[in-house]
A and B are shown apart, each in its own frame.
Chain A
Amino acid sequence: MKKTREMKREIDINRRTFLKGAAAGLAGAMLPLDKADASFWEAFFQKHFVEMNDAEKQKVIQRLEKEYEQKYKKAIKVGLEKPIPGVLFGYGLDLSRCIGCRRCEYACVDENNQSKDPQIHWITVLRFKKGEKWVDLEESEKYYNPPLVPEPDYFYMPVQCQQCENPPCVRSCPTQATWKEPDGIVVVDYNWCIGCRYCMAACPYGARRFNWGEPGRKSEEINPNTHYLGNRPRYKGVVEKCTFCIQRTRNGRYPACVEACPVGARKFGNLLDPDSEIRYAIEHKRVFRLKEDLNTNPKFYYFFAYGV
């Protein structure tokens, strides 16, 4: 039976070389050739973000910053700012003020390095006709395009990630590539996401976006101040979403959309701080949250500061 053993060995070897070849071929096809070097394998074997210690995270950051610099020909800082103890971020949106100008939407794109070709927006502004039932989102219009806003017969409702306390997307992710941080922000590790898009099916707010193609953004449009879990440049084939501008808010700044709003419809703050603006809105205005029947418990509050 020596012969069969030899035969087996030969076949094993053939299979191994074949598998190796196939893996290399697939890997080669996944990445342009110039990138298929050591850093490819480093990226391939990168651990889950939560399981890395600080030194390992630093190493990853160095690799990423180098990669980004090669790609965009400019220095890009990838931050690792941790959640601030005693902070739970919450958001308020005054529907009575919103004029549907979409400045928040574009400020978000400027800030968060989304792909411009194909276009990815984290904020969707919906337009409703006044007097129509509007719990029925299907009656809304996302592609409205009038010469001037606000239009007299319409009102507007911006939607973005609601940063649920009970997020269905996090529960659904098969690889724990998305999770809720202690400050309440739901984040994605773009180096761990396998791109199965189950979270997109699970999200009741249409807040998650997928990189269907290679993200396209010019070097001069890149915002170099980034966070690992936020606005650093993404890859083809991974999911991304609003992070309440984690790179800003963990450094004590407002999210870009809050700053951009020309009518002050957007409020942001620490839900655990009784003196915060967001707490004031929740306690003094008639607030509601989107699709509350689903018990996702969003930290995104809609309210009407005054009647229209």
Chain B
Amino acid sequence: MAHIIGNFFIALRQVYKGTKGYYVWVGSLLLLVLLGVSAYLDQVNRGLIVTAMRDQVSWGFYISNFTFLVGVAAAAVLLVIPAYLYNFKPIKEIVLFGELLAITAITMCILFIMVDMGQPLRVWHILPIIGAMHFPASLLAWDVVVLNGYLAINTVVAFYVLYRLSIGKEYKMSVIGPLILLSIPWAVSIHTVTAFLYNGLSARPYWNASILAPRFLASAFCSGPALMLILFQIIRKLSEVEIDNRAIFKIAELIAYAMGLNLFFLGAEVFKEFYSGSIHSFPIQYLYFGLHGKTALVPWIWFATGANITAFFLFLFPKTRQNFTTLNMACVLVICGVYIEKGMGLVIPGFVPDTLGEIYEYSPSKPEVLVAVGIWAAGALLYTMLLKFAIPIYTGKLRFGIKREGIIAKNIMSKRVLSVTPETPVEEVSKLLISKNISGVPVVDKENKVIGVISESDIIFNEMRREPQLAEKVGDLVMPNMKGDERGPGVHAGDIMTSPAVTADEDTHLKELHRLIMQKKIKRVIVVNEAGHPLGVVSRADILRVLGS
């Protein structure tokens, strides 16, 4: 177990290595996160009054984003089914990135809920046992269960698959199969429960329609995969990950069907509301046409409707979905369309007109937007980190176990940097070696630069000089790099050290270290920094320890 954790941290180290562009990207995201955090701290201080929400419209931009992101998370299932159940190879190769996106989206969902809470420190009240979770009566309690469950399932599946990959093995379906199977209905459940959260409220006729859950799922299977398509192209461009075009086109085709269904459900809803024309149709009237001259959402929803219909046709025709220009256009349209339709377009009309008929026009305040931007940036950051972690393992650059290309000198060296100077008497060196239970130390000059190594073999050989016959017999075995000069007692380290020392830098791979030790018939490699100062020692024992673990 310990080595799994160790390897995990080795892999984790990848997240702070990257090109200049990478640092710029991460830096700007961090900046946006900070901006969001400071807006949030102000909200905590002054209360949710800094938002535009009021008693009439008591949920707004935060919950809209939450709803959209539950859909993105649920959409991972659209990859899971063809990948694991139908073994469609091109998608199987990328399902991992979908699962990582699901993890990210759920994390963002949880953040959006947290920032919407009036008393975030009391969040534990919602937990079972230590809190007073109102299960099964409250749909919000259900949502807590299914969202956290989904987060757990995806985390376990993704990290298990990564673990198996990292040791160069296929994952075992016998281990992970049941979880993957479970993840399929679970993905459906997170979005269904979120729809029911609204759906179950008889006070809000706009939400109280049984088409809501099907609509939620259909639109989720458009926006989530569309987001993935864009991300896959970026991943393909910036890393060595190969993503088969067939996977991309297959997903685009699935989006076309999902969008077809989504538009059909929407049409069914629009027909029922407008044709029957009861007072329960006021919210949808407000949304599409405005009510009593209040029209805040009208341009948005028509843009969304237009975007969704256009995207539907772009995804539907093989010619446009297999052309990356039109494909990407369709993806962007669908993401925007669904973001509006089931974000603000779903949440706000539930409250307008309110239950006593008042029309309060809501549009998010600046702090609300800043907090939301901060959460989106945090999500982008998390996904970047997850990819940075996963991609080297995925592409085979990072392997643990039999093939250990991933291990570098830094990870395995002994960091006790003891050293001696050329002037140190040999007797003292012997004492040091014995007392510290080591077999050799680097010899450094006045500037702490490694100039040689002195080992027990050097010392023993020096002793043997006094008995030349014995030396001849064993010399080659014990000390291949022996020097010709005869030395007596009272000599110093500099006189008998092996020089120059065989050195390597911190990033030298295990394989190279191994090669050096074998080829040069030495017992240790001194790890030095650019200035030549000793940082540590990789001994044969260190290498054996890694190979044996």
Contacts and interface: CB of A to CB of B under 8 A. Distances in A.
Q: Do A and B bind each other?
A: yes
B491 interface: no
B53 A139 contact: no
B216 to A, nearest CB: 17
Given A4-B2, A176-B132, A197 B47 contact: no
A225 B337 CA distance: 54
Contacts of B204: 201
A297 interface: no
A213 B117 CA distance: 13
A210 B355 contact: no
B375 to A, nearest CB: 16
Given A5-B2, A206-B55, A211 B140 contact: no
A164 to B, nearest CB: 11
Contact of B121 (A30, A140, A205, A208): A30
B5 A4 contact: yes
Given A8-B9, A201-B204, A210-B55, A173 B119 contact: no
B59 A201 contact: yes
Interface in B339-378: 350-351, 353-359
A27 B350 CA distance: 33
Nearest to B412: A3
Contacts of B140: 172-174, 196, 198
Nearest to B45: A29
Range of interface residues on A (Cβ < 8 Å): 35 or more
A202 interface: yes
A214 B47 CA distance: 7
A109 to B, nearest CB: 15
A142 to B, nearest CB: 6
Interface stretch (A57-65, A144-152, A231-239, A267-275): A231-239
B203 A202 contact: yes
B118 A171 contact: no
A193 interface: yes
Interface string A108-142: 00000000001000001010000000011111101
B41 interface: yes
Interface in B129-147: 131-134, 137-141, 144
Contacts of B549: 1
B349 to A, nearest CB: 13
A135 B353 CA distance: 14
B58 interface: yes
Report the interface size class on chain B: 35 or more
A21 to B, nearest CB: 14
Nearest to B139: A172
B312 interface: no
A212 to B, nearest CB: 4
Contacts of A172: 137-140, 200-201
Contacts, number: 182
A213 B291 CA distance: 29
Interface string A25-57: 011011000000000000010001001000000
B279 interface: yes
Contacts of B358: 142, 206
B357 A140 contact: yes
B408 interface: no
A238 B357 contact: no
A172 B139 CA distance: 7
Contacts of A206: 55-56, 354-356, 358
B49 interface: yes
Contacts of A177: 125, 132
A11 interface: yes
Contacts of B51: 212
Nearest to B414: A3
B46 A214 contact: yes
A294 B203 contact: yes
B204 to A, nearest CB: 7
A192 interface: yes
B134 A173 contact: yes
Given A201-B58, A237-B117, 9 more contacts: A26-B121, A29-B45, A126-B356, A126-B357, A194-B126, A196-B140, A197-B59, A239-B118, A294-B202
Interchain residue pairs A-B with the least CB separation, the first 9:
A195-B118, A237-B118, A4-B6, A137-B357, A138-B357, A204-B203, A213-B49, A174-B140, A212-B49
Interface of B: 2-3, 5-6, 9, 41, 44-49, 51, 53-56, 58-59, 113, 116-123, 125-126, 131-134, 137-141, 144, 197-198, 200-204, 279, 282, 291, 350-351, 353-359, 411, 545, 549
10 contacts: A1-B549, A4-B9, A8-B2, A26-B120, A44-B122, A174-B140, A194-B123, A194-B126, A206-B355, A212-B47
Interface of A: 1, 3-5, 7-8, 11, 26-27, 29-30, 44, 48, 51, 118, 124, 126, 135-140, 142, 159, 168, 171-177, 192-198, 200-206, 208-214, 235-239, 294-295
